[in-house]
Homo-oligomer: A and B are copies of this chain.
């Protein structure tokens, strides 16, 4: 059961509205790595989760992300306000202007409708926690980019708040994953095939405009993986 209080988790103030920046902010309102995506991914995982402790974690963070959605929405509305009356501003997002009257909606900066295809929900808790750590890393870098594209102090502060929270979440999910006590790389219950699992296939070779063939810890044996000669060599 949910309850809403008409207070933002973080108070937003901006200087001069910047409509094109408002359009960019939509990435975190209705975009692929935005707050609704985070809220829904963790909440749906939480509802499906049968581990009571981590279920609480998923619901705690899933709910916080809804409050983030409200914050980024408020910030976006402030920057997009000129779309209601200015033709020039309107061109920065014609759909928001004409169809939406200048308000926010669950579309990204290029007008793509939010879709559940953004979510990663497998119903396997160990896997889902991996997906969540990655999701938080993505949200963090997106907020960092938004911060770098505005000079408005109030906007920067609000985005800094939201960005910081994603690192908190990343740490919480990593802790929940680690505390499951599973050996690394033991996803599910069926063991991978021995030997085959240690072979590194060298699918891309040569050198040119697109790089060169190299080695690193992932294929020099340090990680237990060794390059095998590509099966393609003799077949052509």
Contact = CB atoms under 8 A, between A and B. Distances in A.
The quantity of this chain's copies bound in the complex is 6
A147 B189 CA distance: 11
A94 B24 contact: yes
Contact of A189 (B48, B91, B144): B144
Contacts of A112: 95, 110-113, 117
A135 to B, nearest CB: 8
A229 to B, nearest CB: 11
A235 B236 CA distance: 13
Interface size class on chain A is 35 or more
Interface string A77-90: 10000000001001
A13 to B, nearest CB: 10
A105 B127 CA distance: 16
Given A1-B4, A99-B142, A203-B64, A106 B134 contact: no
A104 B48 contact: yes
